[in-house]
Amino acid sequence: MSTCSVSKGCFVFKPNSHKRKRSSAADYFSKGNNDLGNSELRLDTCLLLWKQIKSETEQLQEDLNKNLFDNLIKFLRQSHLDFKEKKAEWICRMKSNEIPTAAVVLGVNVTDHELTIKSLSEVLRDDVTPFVVSLKAKECPGIKQLLQKLIIQLMGCDVDVDSSEEEECPKNLPRRVRCSVASLTDWYKNVIKKTDTESPCKKRTFSSRHWEPPPVVIIFKDMESFTTKVLQDFIIMSSHCIREFPLVLIFGIATSPMVIHKLLPHSVSSLLCIELFQSLSSKEHLTKVIDKLLLTSQFPFKISEKVLQVLTNIFLYHDFSVHNFVKGFQ
């Protein structure tokens, strides 16, 4: 008796891996064109045109944010004057523990927030104070990490409170820094005192455009993402030192200013002197960009109706990001 069997097998043959050559912009212009000189001219023209478009877009961004930044600086100036004069009226004594806070509603286009906050920080460092700190929620899961970020950015010293080894710091800073608001207050007093005792020709800490004494501005980029405990503990601790430590908070808000009262109890929010600021909506911003880039004779480069429709749909139904719209346009 004989037995017959049939078996099936599946064998995979992996082809040799050949890395696909990435084509550059120069390859695109030279493809199918035997005249290399003409291709190089087209490439140079395209790069020059995009450079002009990018410059115009950045200038438009600055112009649109100018009104918002001017209002913020006006608010900071009034808060700074109240601190500097140290008025003794009863109303001022009632507000002596309140921290000036600017609630800036930036909109749901979170991708564009980073550029706006960066521009705001540069304006404040140039014209108001050298002490500007930007904080993200993912970098500050606890109050200890938040204070560490403050000390690192303000004092320029890397702090590790859990390590027994001394960190390398600049010569003018202590090697071990206690991670607390009191340490920041003492540091600020020493910086101001040192600057006041120096001769005018040796004052290099502050620019001539900076206010005296310069306030400390802390920007919470994504205020909604911070935990209630972190914000609550920091605000309570800072309110006790506000008379000696001119602190100003800026909350970057994507949704609604009501989120402040949802995150903070009344006993904590009452320690903040809040003023609301509204940035230009993303739709209005995109309208300005389209008018300046597409509906103008200044730039001869145009896109088809279908491409514009795709970019617009991504903007309206995905992220409301003007930055991503410009990248897609590129």
The ranges assigned to domains in the chain are: 61-157+178-191+212-280, 281-329
What's the pLDDT band for 115 if we cut at 50, 70, 90?
A: confident
- For residue 175, give the H/E element and its range: none
Per-residue pLDDT tens digits for 74-98: 888 877 776 666 554 444 544 567 8
pLDDT in tens, 187-216: 888 888 776 665 554 444 555 566 677 888
Looking at 3.40.50.300, 3.75.10.10, 1.20.1640.10, 3.30.360.10, the CATH number of the domain 61-157+178-191+212-280 comes to 3.40.50.300
Would you say residue 160 has pLDDT above 80?
Answer: no
Concatenated DSSP letters for 126-156?
HHT-S-EEEE-GGG-SSHHHHHHHHHHHHH-
pLDDT of residue 49: 83
pTM of the shown model: 0.76
Mean pLDDT of 237-261: 88
Residue 235 and residue 147 in contact, taking contact as beta carbons nearer than 8 Å: no
Work out the mean pLDDT of the chain and round it to a whole number: 78
Q: What is the model's pLDDT at position 45?
A: 80
Query: Tokens at residue 326, please?
Result: 């410009």
Confidence tier at 219 by pLDDT (50, 70, 90): very high
User: Does residue 44 have a pLDDT over 70?
Assistant: yes
What pLDDT is attached to residue 60? Answer: 84
Closest by CA to 107, choosing from 269, 239, 224, is: 224
Most confident by average pLDDT, 179-193, 199-213, 241-255:
241-255
Alpha helices in the chain (DSSP H): 25-30, 36-85, 90-94, 110-127, 143-155, 181-197, 228-239, 259-263, 266-269, 282-293, 305-314, 322-329
Quickly state the pLDDT bin for 19 (edges 50, 70, 90): low
- On the question of a cis peptide bond just before residue 200, with omega within 30 degrees of 0, the verdict is no
- Inform me whether the pLDDT recorded for 268 exceeds 80: yes
pLDDT at 217: 92
Q: Give me the mean pLDDT over the 220-249 stretch.
A: 89
Taking 90 as the threshold, does the pLDDT of residue 174 lie above it?
no
pLDDT band per the 50, 70, 90 thresholds, residue 164: very low
Check residue 86 and give its pLDDT: 56
pLDDT at site 163: 39
Model pLDDT, residue 171: 44
For the residues 246-258, what does the mean pLDDT come to?
Answer: 90
Identify the band that residue 161 occupies on the pLDDT scale cut at 50, 70 and 90.
Answer: very low
Per-residue pLDDT for 20 more than 80?
no
User: What pLDDT does residue 182 have?
Assistant: 82
Of residues 178 and 34, more confidently modeled: 178
220 DSSP 8-state letter:
E
Are the C-beta atoms of residues 195 and 97 closer than 8 Å to each other? no
Res 3: pLDDT: 65
* Residue 221 in this model has a pLDDT that exceeds 60: yes
pLDDT at residue 172, as a whole number: 43
What mean pLDDT is predicted for residues 19-35? Answer: 60
